[in-house]
Chains A and B, each alone.
Chain A
Amino acid sequence: MWRGFLSLLKKDFQLMWSSKFLLLAFGSLVLYSCYINFLYVNLDQDIYPVYLYDPLSVQQELSADIVRVDSLEELNTKSGDGYAVGIDMSSGTPQVTMVSSNIQKTDNYRAAYALSLLSPSNQTVSEITGKDNKEMKSRREITCEFLFFELAAVGFLGIASMLFKEKQMGVVRIHGVLPISKTAFMLSKLSLFLLSDLVFSTFLTVINLGALEGLLVLPYVLAQTAILSLIMALVGFFCAVQLPDFKQFSLLYLVLAVFITTPVFLVGQTGIAWSWITYHPMYHLFMAMKNAYRGMPSANGVYYTICGLTIILLFLLVRQALIREMAKEG
C-alpha cells in the first residue's frame, strides 16, 4: 500500500510549490504579523468617547475622559455615530443620548460607563490579577482570528485548487489504474497540508505572542490546528471532487465564507448573542481555538470524540467520491 507514498508526497509538494500556495502562506504570515505588531496593538482602543452638554454648570467634578460641548446640536452630532455617548445636563439631571448599537447589553454598558465618568472620585480601583495585559489579550485574540481564517478559508481553497489542477490534467483517473490505494493518494495531500498548517500556526503564534507566551500555548494551538486543518482540507477535497469546475467551487467558497464563518466571528468576538450558534460546528471549533490561545485545552472529551468521528466520516465520504471520480469518462 505504501510503495510510492514518498513519490506521492514529492509530487504533491511540487504541485503545491507550482501553485504558489506556500508563497501565499508565507505572504499571509508576513502580512498578519506586520498588521498585528505594527498596527493592531498600537491602535488607540479608547473606550466610547463621552460628550457632556451642561449649560447650567451643574457638574463640577468631571473625569478627564469627558469632553464638554457648547450646544445641544453639537452634542447630538458628536454622539450620533453609534459609538460615542452624549450626556445632556440642561434639565439639571443627566440624560443619556446615543445612537443604539442594536445590542441592548452594549447600549446599557455604554450608558453605565458614561454616567460613571460623572463621579470619578467614587470609582473603585480593581485589583489586577494575572499577567495578561491588554496588549497580550489583543495579540491572543487577533492571532486566533487570523489563524482560524487562514485554516478555514485559505487551507480549504489550497487543497481544492490542487485537486482541480489534477482533475484538469486528467491524472486523477490514472491513479485509478495504478497499484496504489486511494487512501494513500488522499493521505499524501492531507499530510502535506496538515504539515504546512502546523508550521504556519507555529510561526504565527510564536511571532505574535512572543517566544515565551507562544511556546506555552503552542501544544493546545497545534492540537486545534490539526483538527481544523484536517476537517477543512477534507471538506475542500470533497467539494473539489464533486464539483465540475473551479467557478462553481468559487461560488460555494463565497457562500461558506460569508454565511458560515461570519456568524461565528460575530458571536465569538462581539457582544452579539444568538442562541442557535451553539448548533454551528464552526462556532465550537472557533471557541476551542480561542481557548487554546488562552492556554486552555478543550477539556470536554465529547468535543474531541465528535471531531475525531467527523474526520473519519469525512475521510470515508471523500474516499467514495474519489473512487467515483476516477471511474468517470475521460
Chain B
Amino acid sequence: MIAVENLVFAYRQQIQTLHGLTFSVAPGEIFGFLGPNGSGKSTTQKILTGILSGYDGIVRLFGKPINGRQKELQEKIGVLFEFPYLYTNLSALDNLNYFASFYPAEQRRSIDELLDMLEFKKDFVHKPVSSYSKGMRQRISMARALQSNPKLLFLDEPTSGLDPQGAVLFRKIIEEERKKGTTVFLTTHNMMDADLLCDRVAFIADGEIKVIDTPKKLKEKNSNHQVEIDYLYQRKRHMTVIEMPRLRAGISFPYDEIISIHSKEPTLEDIFIQYTGRGLL
C-alpha cells in the first residue's frame, strides 16, 4: 500500500529533515509511526498525503509513484489532523456535506451512518461547530476523514482531546476500518494507542527510522525475562523479582499465598527511549 525508499527531504538546502527513510506498509495493516516533536513524522505524512513535494527518493502509494498524481490519490485517502479543523460558523452537517462534495458521489458514505457510528449527539447536528466541545469536534473530524470511504487512512493523534470513552470508541472504529481492508498510517505520541492498535510500529528520531517491528516482538526482544511475584508469608505481604527460567523449577522461596505474578516487560516508551535515546515528548 505504501512503499518508501530512501526518502530525503530538506525544507531548506542546509537543513535536512528526513535522511533516507525506507519502510513499507502492507494493505490492511495498521502501521504506527512514532517519534518526538521535530523528528520528521509530520513531514513524512505530508509527503505521503501529497501536501509536500520536492523530495528525493521513491514514494509509492497503491503501487504507483505519487508525483503528479496527487489529486487522484487524494480521492482514495482520508486524513485526520491532530487538531479538529472545521468551519466553526457552519454546522456539523454543513461541514460534512461541504467536504464530501469533493469526492465522487458513488464513493461517499452516508453522513447519518457516520454520525451514528461516532455516537454524535443528534441535537447538535444543525448547530454551529463553534458551540461544540473538543471531543465533538474531533468526532466530526473523524467523520470527515472517513466519509470518502478511504482505502488508506492517515491518522494524526486520533484520540487526542477525547475522554476515555471516546478514545475507546475511536480505537474500535479504527479496528473496524482495518477489518474492512483499510490501511491505517497512525502518527502518535500515545503509546497506549500504538500498543493496542498497531500491527507494526516504526520509531523515528532526527529524521531516521531507528527500528520497525511489531510491538510484541519489540517487547520480547527487549525484555529482561523477569517476573514480579506478590505473595503473603507469615501474614506479611512481600514482593520479589526472579528470572523467568527459575520459574521452571517452581517457586523456591517460602510463601503462604501467591497474590499475583506479572512479567516485567518493558513498555513501548521504554523501548523507544532505548532505541532513540530520548522520550516521545
Q: Which residues of A contact B (CB under 8 A)?
A: 1, 3-4, 6-7, 10-11, 14-15, 18, 166, 169-171, 173-174, 176-181, 326-327, 329-330
| Pairwise interchain contact B51-A176, C-beta atoms closer than 8 A | yes
State whether A170 and B85 are in contact (beta carbons under 8 Å apart), knowing that A179-B71, A327-B51 are contacts in the complex.
yes
Q: Which residues of A contact B42 (CB under 8 A)?
A: 329-330
Q: Which residue of A lies closest to B45 (CB)?
A: A177
Of all chain B residues, which has the CB nearest A172?
A: B85
* CB-based contact B102/A11 at 8 Å: no
> Does B101 count as interface, using CB distance less than 8 angstroms?
yes
Bound CA–CA A5/B49 (angstroms): 21
Closest residue on chain A to residue B37 by CB atoms: A329
Q: Give the CA-CA distance A1 to B82 in the complex, in Å.
A: 27
Cross-chain contact A173 with B85 (CB below 8 angstroms)? yes
Nearest neighbor of B78 in chain A, beta-carbon distance: A177
What 4 additional pairs, Cβ within 8 angstroms, besides A6-B101, A7-B97?
A: A7-B98, A179-B102, A327-B51, A330-B82
A169:B77 contact, CB within 8 angstroms: no
Binds A, one of B87-95, B114-122, B234-242: B87-95
Q: A181-B71, A327-B51 are in contact. Are A174 and B99 (CB under 8 A)?
A: yes
> Which residues of A lie under 8 Å from residue B190 when comparing CB positions?
none
* Residues of B close to A171: CB separation below 8 A: 85-87
Residues of B within 8 A of A4 (CB): 101-102
Per the bound structure, the CA–CA distance linking A206 and B237 in Å amounts to 95
Number of chain B residues close to chain A: CB under 8 A: 31
Does the CB pair A178–B74 fall under 8 Å?
yes
B 204-247 binary contact with A (CB < 8 Å = 1; else 0): 00000000000000000000000000000000000000000000
Q: Are A177 and B86 in contact (CB under 8 A)?
A: no
Question: Is A178 a contact partner of B50 (Cβ separation < 8 A)?
Answer: no
Output the least CB separation between B33 and chain A (Å). Answer: 16
Nearest neighbor of A168 in chain B, beta-carbon distance: B88
Interface centre among A3, A10, A173, A327 (most CB of B within 10 A): A327
* Contacting pair B52 A327 (CB below 8 A): yes
- State the CA gap A14–B128 with chains docked (Å): 12
Task: Report 11 cross-chain contacts, Cβ distance below 8 Å, ordered by A residue.
Answer: A3-B104, A7-B102, A169-B86, A170-B85, A171-B86, A173-B85, A174-B85, A176-B50, A177-B49, A177-B79, A179-B102
Please pick, from A7, A177, A327, the residue contacting B101 in the complex, using a CB distance under 8 A: A7
CB distance from B83 to the nearest CB of A (A): 5
Determine if A180 and B87 form an interchain contact, defined as CB atoms under 8 angstroms apart: no
Is B132 an interface residue, CB under 8 A from the partner?
Answer: no
Is B124 engaged at the interface, CB distance under 8 Å to the other chain?
no
- Find out whether the CB atom of A169 lies under 8 angstroms from the CB atom of B88: yes
State which residues 95-111 of B face A: CB under 8 Å: 97-99, 101-104
Question: In the complex the two chains form, is B89's CB within 8 Å of A14's CB?
Answer: yes
Q: Are B83 and A330 in contact (CB under 8 A)?
A: yes
Complex Cα spacing A207 to B87, Å: 37
Complex CA distance for A10 and B49, rounded to whole angstroms = 26
When the two chains form the complex, which single residue of B87, B98, B102 contacts A3, counting CB atoms closer than 8 Å? Answer: B102
B89 x A177 contact (CB < 8 A): no
